[in-house]
């Protein structure tokens, strides 16, 4: 009998397809698309840069005169108020210069007094000379009368002597009187002319003395200016704080020689701070003043600050560098330039403002809407 019992073959069940990977892939693609769309849309209305820093007003402390440092009154990072003494210079040279200027001023004023006294004396001489001229004129008039009288007497005596009515001696006496009157008149005229000449000389001396007063006065004014200048230079030996603020690094030491105009250190004013963000030139075409800005400061990573676009630099940052690029002087390589944009803080907390330091890194994001 034939055995029909055949071995039974078991068929494996079909595995169901997993939809997990396609779902994840689809979610990633959709999520990426949404993120990309949002990023693209966001980028159309926002511009950002991390090339930005905190900026504030800085006042350079400069020596206005040359001299040796006698004493330094401040230290690094110290807060000072306007008018506080920062550095004292050796002032012995300036004191000597002031004393010399004051002595020269006294001499100039003495010259004025001497010129005035000379003018007064010559003026009195003029008055005396004029009085003498008046007296001489009166004497001349009297002498002229005497000359006329003696002339008339001589004529009469000349007629009488011809008639032998008088003696020859009487005629000679009349002639002598006439000649004496003529000589007396001439003497008085010469004296009057001499006195008048003295009056002219005295007038010239008075005019010269008056001119000396004017010259001495001008010299005295110059000496007064010299005194004021010496006082000013003496005051410059004490270098004061021009504003309230924090002193930077103080490298000036006692005994150091300073040239006039040299900067000792910088004074960082603490009254106001803002952000200077250097945007690429391709980012600023839609930027205008007044647009809102989100500010992130590296020193305060958990806080976000509000700002507003205040102004744009009139030139790129490279233009203001010590050695600005000149494309005409070498091989031209196009480099995207950056334009400094000033951003003011809005409602900045005072406590945070005190902690901000010039030069801190900032990320700025401008809303173009």
Helix (H, G, I), strand (E, B) or coil at 259: coil
pLDDT of residue 229: 94
Average pLDDT on 74-92 reads 92
> How many whole angstroms separate alpha carbon 123 and alpha carbon 205?
9
- Rounded to whole angstroms, the Cα distance separating 85 from 80 reads 9
> Measured between alpha carbons, how far is 239 from 87 in angstroms, rounded to an integer?
5
What is the band of 114 on the pLDDT scale with cuts at 50, 70, 90? confident
pTM for the whole thing? 0.62
Does the domain at 92-235 match CATH 1.20.1430.10? Answer given as: no
Domain 48-90+246-367 - what CATH class?
A: mainly beta
pLDDT, average across residues 137-142: 80
The mean pLDDT of 324-343, rounded to a whole number, is: 78
The stretch 339-345 carries a mean pLDDT of 94
pLDDT of residue 234: 94
Can you name the residues that pair with 247 across neighbouring β-strands?
267
Average confidence score pLDDT of the chain: 82
- Domain locations along the chain: 48-90+246-367, 92-235
Average pLDDT on 173-198 reads 79
Strongest mean pLDDT among 9-18, 62-71, 113-122: 62-71
Q: What angle do CA 297, 300, 303 make, to 5 degrees?
A: 90
Contact 312, 287 (CB under 8 A): yes
Distance CA 271, CA 59 (A): 12
Mean pLDDT of 150-173: 78
193-250 pLDDT, tens per residue? 777 776 666 666 666 666 777 778 888 899 999 999 999 999 999 999 988 888 988 9
Distance CA 252, CA 247 (A): 12
Give dist(CA 198, CA 183) in Å, integer. 23
In this predicted model, what pLDDT tens digit does every residue of 345-363 receive, in sequence order?
998 888 888 888 889 999 9
Phi, psi of 98, deg, nearest 5? -70, -40
Find the largest Cα–Cα distance for the chain: 238
Report, as an integer, the average pLDDT of 78-105.
Answer: 93
For the segment 256-268, the average pLDDT, to the nearest whole number, is 91
pLDDT in tens, 64-81: 999 999 999 999 989 999
Cβ neighbours for 82, distance < 8 A, ≥ 6 positions apart: 240, 241, 242, 243, 244
């Amino acid at each position: 009998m034939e055995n029909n019992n055949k071995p039974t073959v078991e068929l494996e069940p079909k595995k169901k397809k997993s939809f997990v990977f396609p779902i994840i892939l689809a979610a990633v693609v959709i999520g990426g698309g949404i993120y990309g769309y949002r990023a693209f849309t966001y980028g159309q209305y926002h511009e950002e840069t991390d090339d930005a820093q905190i900026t504030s007003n800085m006042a350079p402390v400069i020596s206005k005169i040359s001299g040796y440092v006698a004493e330094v009154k401040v230290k690094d990072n110290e807060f000072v108020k306007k008018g506080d003494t920062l550095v004292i210079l050796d002032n012995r040279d300036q004191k000597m210069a002031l004393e010399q200027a004051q002595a020269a001023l006294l001499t100039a004023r003495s010259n004025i007094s001497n010129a005035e006294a000379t003018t007064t004396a010559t003026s009195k001489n003029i008055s005396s000379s004029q009085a003498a001229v008046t007296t001489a004129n009166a004497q001349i008039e009297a002498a002229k009368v005497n000359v006329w009288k003696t002339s008339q007497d001589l004529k009469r005596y000349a007629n009488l002597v011809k008639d032998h009515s008088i003696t020859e001696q009487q005629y000679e006496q009349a002639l002598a009187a006439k000649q004496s009157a003529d000589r007396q008149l001439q003497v008085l005229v010469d004296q009057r002319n001499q006195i008048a000449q003295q009056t002219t000389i005295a007038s010239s001396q008075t005019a010269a003395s008056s001119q000396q007063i004017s010259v001495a006065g001008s010299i005295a004014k110059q000496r007064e200016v010299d005194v004021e200048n010496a006082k000013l230079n003496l005051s410059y030996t004490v270098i004061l704080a021009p504003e309230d603020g924090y002193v930077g690094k103080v490298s000036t030491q006692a005994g150091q020689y300073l040239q006039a105009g040299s900067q000792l250190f910088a004074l960082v004013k603490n009254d106001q701070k803002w952000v200077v963000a250097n945007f690429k030139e391709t980012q600023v075409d839609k930027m205008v003043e007044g647009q809102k800005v989100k500010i992130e400061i590296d020193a305060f990573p958990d806080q976000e600050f509000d700002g507003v676009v205040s102004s744009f630099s009139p030139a790129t940052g490279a233009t203001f560098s010590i050695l600005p690029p000149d494309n005409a002087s070498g091989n031209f390589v196009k480099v995207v330039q950056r334009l400094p944009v000033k951003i003011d803080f809005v409602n900045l907390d005072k406590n945070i403002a005190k902690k901000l330091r010039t030069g801190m890194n900032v990320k700025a994001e401008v809303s173009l809407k």
